[in-house]
Amino acid sequence: MAGNISKKQAAFIESLTKDSSERNDYLASFLRQAGKSGIRDLTLEEASKLISSLKGIKTSNSQDSPPLTKKQKTYLESLLRNEAARVETGKFLNSLGLVSIDDLRMDDASRLIDSLKKTVSGRPDQKARRYASKKQINFIRSLATGTDKEKILVDFLKGRGKSNIEDLFTDEASEIIDLLKSE
């Protein structure tokens, strides 16, 4: 016996069919053919098949893709610390008639991220360096208390041509965390 549809699957199906008459029509037809009265009556396997089919339906509505995820937004924000990335993002948003990254849909956010990774790294074949996370920055601040540790941090930043903690890349943040913890 197959398991029932998961909550995530049900929510994803609802997001795929929201504002799309083509996908809503397909959903109704799928449910009729499966002898189901609603999405929640589907099995895991039926839900997977339905999701695959719905994703394959291209519609004229630009809102077909779900909104960008929190993870995408956080990653975009880290990439946008780079001036070239901000310029490219502005052009990308303008081409879509959008004002903010908050207005992006998941598929457009993915395309933008792929493009920005090349911009930030400088070369398409070079892996982009990411800026330190907020968690790393806060941890560095908590470790750099006291005159000796503050001096270590200042010297570390100067040695890398950085003016503040927010300019550190993840690997540099890890390095200073290790230094501060060892003192």
Per-residue pLDDT, 86: 87
Paired residues of 169 in beta bridges: 131
Tokens 């909550």 belong to: 7
- Residuewise pLDDT in 10s, the chain (183 residues): 457 888 888 888 888 887 777 888 899 999 999 999 999 999 989 988 988 888 777 665 555 578 889 999 998 988 888 888 888 899 888 887 778 898 888 888 988 988 888 776 654 434 556 788 899 999 999 999 988 899 999 999 998 888 889 888 888 899 999 999 887
Residues 51 and 75 in one domain: no
Last residue of a domain, one of 16, 32, 56: 56
- Whether 128 maps to a domain, the answer reads no
How far apart are alpha carbons 93 and 65 in whole angstroms?
A: 16
Per-residue pLDDT, 48: 87
Residues 51 and 74 in one domain: no
State which residues form the domain around 150. 134-182
- Whether 126 maps to a domain, the answer reads no
DSSP character at residue 109: H
How far apart are alpha carbons 35 and 162 in whole angstroms?
A: 63
Paired residues of 4 in beta bridges: 43
Number of domains in the chain: 3
Residues 117 and 150 in one domain: no
Tokens 């929190």 belong to: 70
- Whether 127 maps to a domain, the answer reads no
- Whether 64 maps to a domain, the answer reads no
Residues 103 and 142 in one domain: no
Q: Contact 34/5 with Cβ under 8 angstroms?
A: no
- Whether 93 maps to a domain, the answer reads yes
Residues 139 and 105 in one domain: no
CA geometry: angle 117, 134, 79, nearest 5 deg: 15
Residues 50 and 92 in one domain: no
Per-residue pLDDT, 140: 93
How far apart are alpha carbons 106 and 22 in whole angstroms?
A: 19
- Whether 155 maps to a domain, the answer reads yes
Residues 141 and 175 in one domain: yes
- Return the beta strands (E) in the chain as ranges: none
What would the 3-class secondary structure string for 67-135 be? Answer: ECCHHHHHHHHHHCCCHHHHHHHHHHHHHHCCCCHHHCEHHHHHHHHHHHHHHHHCCCCCCCCCECCHH
Q: Contact 13/51 with Cβ under 8 angstroms?
A: yes
Q: How many CB atoms lie within 10 A of CB 46?
A: 19
Residues 117 and 138 in one domain: no
- Whether 158 maps to a domain, the answer reads yes
How far apart are alpha carbons 153 and 176 in whole angstroms?
A: 7
Residues 144 and 169 in one domain: yes
